[in-house]
A and B are shown apart, each in its own frame.
Chain A
């Protein structure tokens, strides 16, 4: 199974600004999921985007998927201090049932 690579590794923004995180991968995927993790806590599912989808929204979150570039992005609009967390992409390829996590982007939203 392949691993996604998020960038940047760390991002620091002011409250109210937008945050964009990217996930790149190497081979074909079945779907890609984004998760949030507050320090030392559990993994909270944010959005799943399937390989035949290009964009999905959930509240202030927008996820895009470009299969030709093998990349996905997570946009958080109008960020809040409570958005401070690590964000991970998790890939499921076409061959198995498990999904592989990238190393994550650590987002800090400053009040």
Chain B
């Protein structure tokens, strides 16, 4: 069974630009969550999508948005990039059922804003 796939692995953008990151969850998983990891703030929850609907959101500005497609693949978009958005962006896949389920992470996308 393939794991969680995130593309691209590395990205360099200029301040003010926008960026789109992609995540393909484990086959059969319907929940995709996004996290931002920085040395200063650690791992912080951005949002979760389940069956194409955002059902939980962290404390990030509106410049951070996402969506989920019918095949459960998810994209995350950051507009008007700031230097502080440089981070490792991680996607987590869960089955999303009613029982407690573990979250499995992709390798992440390393975003550098210059």
- Whether A associates with B in a native complex is no
Interface residues of A (CB under 8 A from B): none
